[in-house]
Amino acid sequence: MMGWLRSKSITRSTAAKRDPDSKAQVSTEVISESETDGMKQNQSKVSEQDDLRGSLGETEAAESSMLIDKNASETSASSSGDSLFAPRQFDETKPLLTVTGVERSFSVGGRQLDVLKGIDMALFPMQLVMLKGRSGSGKTTLLNMIGGLDQPNKGEIIFMGHPFHQSGDDQRTLVRRKEIGFIFQSFALMPLLSAWENVELALRMANVPRSEWKKRTAHCLDLVGLGKRMHHRPFELSGGEQQRVAIAKAIAHRPSLLLADEPTAELDSQMGAQVMAVFRDIIQTEQVTICMTTHDPTIMEVADHVFEMVDGKFINT
């Protein structure tokens, strides 16, 4: 599968930014872009990482800013630190997210392409849920909806009480930045920054007070087993280690939900197993829920639940 980041358009349309409440405008833009080929190359769509980068400017700016800041004294007022470590209060029997009757179509070459055809699902706290299905069955389209990056044409998506199907782009962005973490097939790390700096960058972008960065960064890198490689840059790490840095980065702000699109696709089976072991650990330690896509049957064995998607519908719910 092509990763979200490189080609999948985890998207927010510029139209939506102009009028965050207008689904029609989002659809219109998607249609016209698709017709001229190419959702996957579209510059007006903003990948999640581009979106995150946007809050700091260009990649290079973000990286240099981190490099300049790395020895700066810890001056920010504290502390939201407790919220990064405190046990969560939730009822495990109540879903974190519900998807009801969700449909999503795109217009391609003047024709309507029905991608999601009535999806119902629920994610409960601290579950590891997997989506499987053939290429093109609609898995990433669904993850985009769950992550608040796109909206359905029909149906409801409620995440932690927030009606994603009817809230504006800005509202969804706020929820997403606080409560959702993303992991990509292609790791999505800043190449000039060390593992430590990559995680710190995520904390900065989440507006976590600087005084909390050190403790939280060390904690997250320890959780993924990279405490001893914290000063390595991505190119000095194996693929599995890079993906573990990406996990540390994605959980740094302590999201309630982690979404991962084929997180093990570029890894060999041993590294893939390590990533899955880390997922299992962080579900317990961070009390996070994980929803991921995969094609790998061995990986599915560790799931709490596997949804199989065929042609835009689940066949085994």
**Residues near ligand ATP, by CB under 6 A:** 1-2, 8-9, 30, 34, 39, 106, 108, 113, 115, 133, 135-141
For ligand ATP, the closer CB: 140 or 194: 140
Q: How far is the CB of 34 from ligand ATP (least distance, A)?
A: 4
Alpha carbon distance 143, 96 (integer Å): 15
For ligand ATP, the closer CB: 186 or 198: 186
Alpha carbon distance 205, 264 (integer Å): 26
What sign does the CA torsion over 167, 3, 276, 309 have? Answer: positive
Q: How far is the CB of 77 from ligand ATP (least distance, A)?
A: 42
For ligand ATP, the closer CB: 136 or 163: 136
For ligand ATP, the closer CB: 126 or 309: 309
Alpha carbon distance 84, 43 (integer Å): 35
* Closest CA relative to residue 92, chosen from 252, 306, 220, 283: 283
**DSSP string covering 144-192:** HHHTTSS--SEEEEEETTEETTTS-HHHHHHHHHHHEEEE-TT----TT
For ligand ATP, the closer CB: 2 or 160: 2
For ligand ATP, the closer CB: 109 or 161: 109
Q: How far is the CB of 51 from ligand ATP (least distance, A)?
A: 16
Q: How far is the CB of 42 from ligand ATP (least distance, A)?
A: 8
Spatial neighbors of 279 by CB under 8 A, at least 6 apart, are 128, 247, 258, 290, 292, 302
* Closest CA relative to residue 295, chosen from 262, 268, 247, 267: 262
Q: How buried is 190 (Cβ within 10 angstroms: 0-12 exposed, 13-18 middle, 19+ buried)?
A: buried
Q: How far is the CB of 157 from ligand ATP (least distance, A)?
A: 15
For ligand ATP, the closer CB: 30 or 84: 30
**What tokens were used for 70?**
């790395």
Q: How far is the CB of 134 from ligand ATP (least distance, A)?
A: 7
Q: How far is the CB of 25 from ligand ATP (least distance, A)?
A: 14
**What tokens were used for 108?**
């391609």
* Cis amide linkage into residue 47, ω under 30° from 0: no
For ligand ATP, the closer CB: 83 or 112: 112
Q: How far is the CB of 149 from ligand ATP (least distance, A)?
A: 11
Specify which residues 116 forms β-bridges with.
104
Helix axes 59-69, 195-205, angle to 10 degrees: 100
